Amino acid sequence: MKTALLFAGQGTQIGSMAIELYQSSSAAKTVFDRVKEIEPSIVELCFCGDQVELSKTKNAQPTLYVVALAHAYDWMECNNMPDFVAGFSLGEIPALVFCGALSIENGLNLVIHRAKLMHECAENREGGMAAVIGLSSCQVQQIVSEVDSLWCANFNSPLQTVIAGDNASIDKAKERVFELKGKLIKLNVSGAFHTPFMQEAADKFLLYLNDVKFEKLHTPLYSNVDAKLYSQKQIKQRLAKQIMSPVKWSEIIVDLNKKGVTQYKEVGAGSVLTGLLSKILV
């Protein structure tokens, strides 16, 4: 019986999402205490941040990073190391820490820098994201190909694809989605993440990563960019490219299933990834 640990990404944040975990788990408390020594404001946001503050990219990413790691180490107190690890977007960074590539502190600094770059890029290039539900990924890709400044950003499941780009382009695509009997739900995010709108952030992040040392991974970890396992020499390039490339989540889960994984554990603030499993593995 094989197990995969799934690290949640941005969008799962909720107010007061960590105080109970901090009080109930010694392993989680250690994570929060280490982060508190570097950035106490992040821990404060994990415990007391409201939804408005937590929705800002510069706050959401570091808080979710800490919460995901705290849940992961809490889970490890009673379980063996998983056979595979995967992280959704932001979730790849705490996943890298969990797999031994970075220390908690270095991972935090990396996330803070990533969030800052993406926040700035979103401010300079206004855009949005929306989930298209009920249409196949091929149908959504066809719609996107017919609209300027619009891309597929997340392949969440066979019938759920997130599109991103200009807000006007999303509105234009909405008409076509409705014609095909699908549903479109705009997401409460500050930019068109995982699209070429984030090219500048990706380029600057790669420059930052050039000075970061990654240790050898001790557990197989999937990349969002191509739904394949990381190799040591590809970490920096893939992490940077991931910012402006679509998340191939559905492909990752399908491959995990082919490799014999039967148990999945989501670590983070919610259960979004767990909810997608039944939609992917049909």
Q: How far apart are CA 249 and CA 252, in angstroms?
A: 5
- Domain residue spans in the chain? 2-124+195-280, 128-186
Tell me whether residue 149 is one of the annotated catalytic residues.
no
Return mean pLDDT, the chain: 94
Catalytic residue among 194, 223, 245, 250: 194
| pLDDT at 13 > cutoff 80 | no
Distances (CA, A) of 136 to 140, 143, 178, 181: 6, 11, 13, 11
Q: How far apart are CA 277 and CA 262, in angstroms?
A: 11
Residue 194 annotated in active site: yes
Q: Kindly report, residue by residue over 179-195, the tens digit of the pLDDT.
A: 999 999 999 788 999 99
Of 25, 71, 89, 137, the active-site residue reads 89
SS3 78: coil
Which tokens is 10 given?
């941005």
Q: How far is CA 176 from the centre of its chain?
A: 28
Q: Which residue has the tokens 């082919």?
A: 258
Predicted structure pTM score? 0.94
pLDDT beyond 90 at 43:
no
CATH class of residue range 128-186: alpha beta
Q: What is the CATH number of domain 2-124+195-280?
A: 3.40.366.10
pLDDT band at 60 (very low <50, low <70, confident <90, very high): confident
Q: Is 94 helix (H, G, I), strand (E, B) or coil?
A: helix
